[in-house]
Amino acid sequence: MSLEPLDLTRIDSHAENIYEAIVVLSNRARQINEEMKIRLNQELEAFQPRTDSEEEVESNPEQTRISIEFEKMPKPTQKAVEDLMSERISYRYKEE
């Protein structure tokens, strides 16, 4: 996967300042990562590894396919940047 440079002025235009934008992006990336973990665990839950002996574990091709599929998905940080740029993220400060 190639890295793409980000235009910080474009990111900054979606928040009060660049630091606020980075905090929003990191929080959104954490949310996406947790959602992906939950989804992956739910899909892999059906596949319990069978053991023939104490040392040998039989791999399941379906389990491998699901894992590879998740590896090919966009990374949480990339998805968070896309969400911010397309204004699908709304954020607010906590009331004191």
Calculate the CA dihedral of residues 59, 62, 66, 69 and round it to 10 degrees. Answer: 110
pLDDT in tens, 32-63: 999 999 999 898 888 766 555 566 666 778 88
pLDDT at residue 1 above 70? no
Calculate the CA dihedral of residues 81, 85, 90, 96 and round it to 10 degrees. Answer: 70
Residues 58, 52 contacting (CB under 8 angstroms): yes
Share of the chain above pLDDT 90, in %: 46
d(CA 16, CA 82): 18
Residues 83, 89 contacting (CB under 8 angstroms): yes
Average pLDDT over residues 61-88: 91
SS3 label, residue 42 = helix
Q: Where are the domains of the chain?
A: 8-47+59-85
Q: What is the pLDDT of residue 46?
A: 80
For the full predicted model, state whether its pTM sits above 0.75: yes
